[in-house]
A and B are shown apart, each in its own frame.
Chain A
Amino acid sequence: MPPDQLNHPIIYFDNAATSWPKPVGMMAAMINYNEQIGGSPGRSGHQRSLDAGRVILEAREALAELFGCDDSLRIAFTKNATEALNIALSGILNPGDHVITSSMEHNSVLRPLRYLESQGVQISIVSCSGDGRLDAEDVRAAIRPQTRMLVVTHASNVTGTIQPIAELGKIAGHHGIIFCVDAAQTAGALPIHVDEMAIDLLAFSGHKSLFGPQGTGGLYVREGLEKQLRPLMMGGTGSRSEFEGQPDFMPDKYESGTPNTIGIAGLGAGVRFVLAEGVEAIRSKEEMLTTRFLAGLAALPGVTVYGPPDAASRTSVVSFNIAGVSPSEAALEFDEHFGILCRPGLQCAPAAHRTIGTFSQGTIRFGFGYFNKDEEIDLALEAIQSLAGGGAPH
């Protein structure tokens, strides 16, 4: 191993991809499930099976509390936010339907939509501003009689730009349109209240700001909507076993097969951590880290920053470029010589890069998290300065 990698402690700035470290309780909950419980939830009726079911219920209840939902059974667990989005999109939309989305979406929204488009669904992609902002009035203008659904990211995974979800929820509600929010970047990081924001479908990731392990995520479904929402998978649910038809009620309709119980045990602990710390406190710290970083970047010549200028308008995600250095070169330098871990390129969101004008080269993306420190930000600014100052020709 090259000496540089041994000498530098890791500065983990890729929380937008997956969070690290996790709170101590996450692993403890998973070990506890493995050693003390085991058992298949909802299947066998013996004490270990029931205990496994209780672990899952507790995770559901913690999430319901976090999202301001009064019925925890409105939440179905999926393996990630992408699966939740696929259920929401292909489960609702039929050929001839019209769906509205934004130009800042992740491929986990766009790819299912492009496939549905090939099957006869009409899509309108509403353009966002150069710093990634969606104007709710532009969405209103795109509504047609056939508009069935509005699907929008709560915040961009490229620029961190926070979209006006509450305003969009009002517009969707007023027009009887189903409102689906991609909260992969925001669950746990920003306040989300499904009733106040009039959200009908909320797709969330378990392994980012909810501090669960990978392999967890879920979909909140507004009461009654499950009657229209087709599942992606069908199969054994441990309920109504005498029937060969899929259950038509929450959450079983979308939870076929054995769940990732050990993962959900970890997710439950992660969500309890977020509730204990408070989303406001987490947000405040992340905003301070971002403010410190943006201020430092502004002082460096040769650095271009994308997205809104103020930390209040974005999550703790910053995309930037250094003149004369490609993003992948920079990311490699950061990793090998400074121990800074980040994500270069298009971050699975080519549409967002087209919107901000970086499709050809991509960007360097830093994603700060609750466990990052001021000193790490300062070290990163020094690293960027050294690359910007003596940037290698490409």
Chain B
Amino acid sequence: MEEQRYVVFLFPSVSYALKAEKILKVAGIAHKLIPVPRDISSDCGVCVRITEDKQQDVERELLGKVGWDKVLLL
């Protein structure tokens, strides 16, 4: 069985991550706020983790509402 792959959306600050979280909650897309992995950034912030298959849905939901810095495969 294939292992679940995740991507993370990185944001300028926690305010943006929390706004994204609210949008995804309303949209019903499963997500989790996790501390930014150390090998990605030394930021003391959080990022939004979603399953890889949902990346385009999430981008569509967030576009024009909250800007993100990048999307990375975990």
Contacts and interface: CB of A to CB of B under 8 A. Distances in A.
Contacts of A252: 12-13, 15
B54 interface: no
Contacts of A231: none
B31 to A, nearest CB: 13
A306 B45 CA distance: 53
Contact of B45 (A45, A72, A73): A45
Interface stretch (A50-58, A187-195, A346-354, A361-369): A50-58
Interface string B22-46: 1000000000010100000111111
B19 A241 contact: no
Contacts of B65: 71
Nearest to B47: A45
Nearest to B22: A57
Contact of A43 (B12, B41, B44): B44
B43 to A, nearest CB: 6
B12 A42 contact: no
Contact of B15 (A44, A57, A241, A242): A57
B18 A54 contact: yes
A128 to B, nearest CB: 39
A50 B48 CA distance: 12
B11 to A, nearest CB: 9
A345 interface: no
Contacts of B35: 45
Contact of A73 (B16, B43, B44): B16
Given A50-B18, A50-B33, A241 B43 contact: yes
B16 A241 contact: no
Contacts of A41: 14
A217 interface: no
A70 to B, nearest CB: 8
Interface stretch (A139-147, A232-240, A311-319): A232-240
A242 B36 CA distance: 13
Given A50-B46, A57-B22, A71-B65, A42 B14 contact: yes
Interface residues of A, number: 25
Contact of A238 (B22, B42, B45): B45
Contacts of A57: 15, 18-19, 22
B14 A239 contact: yes
B58 interface: no
B18 A239 contact: no
Contacts of B46: 45, 50
B66 interface: yes
A241 B44 contact: yes
Contacts of B19: 57, 72-73
A34 B33 CA distance: 23
A39 B19 CA distance: 18
Contacts of B44: 43-45, 238, 241
Interface string A64-91: 0000000111000000000000000000
A249 B14 contact: no
A242 B43 contact: yes
Contacts of A237: 13
Contacts of B14: 41-43, 45, 50, 53, 238-239
Contacts of B22: 57, 61
A54 B45 CA distance: 14
A374 B33 CA distance: 51
A239 B43 contact: yes
Interface of B: 12-16, 18-19, 22, 33, 35, 41-46, 65-66
Given A239-B12, A240-B43, A241-B44, 13 more contacts: A42-B13, A43-B14, A45-B14, A45-B46, A50-B14, A53-B14, A53-B18, A57-B18, A71-B65, A239-B13, A239-B45, A242-B41, A242-B43
25 contacts: A42-B45, A45-B14, A45-B35, A45-B46, A50-B14, A53-B18, A56-B15, A57-B15, A57-B18, A57-B19, A57-B22, A60-B15, A61-B22, A72-B19, A73-B15, A73-B19, A237-B13, A238-B13, A238-B44, A239-B43, A239-B45, A241-B42, A242-B42, A242-B43, A252-B12
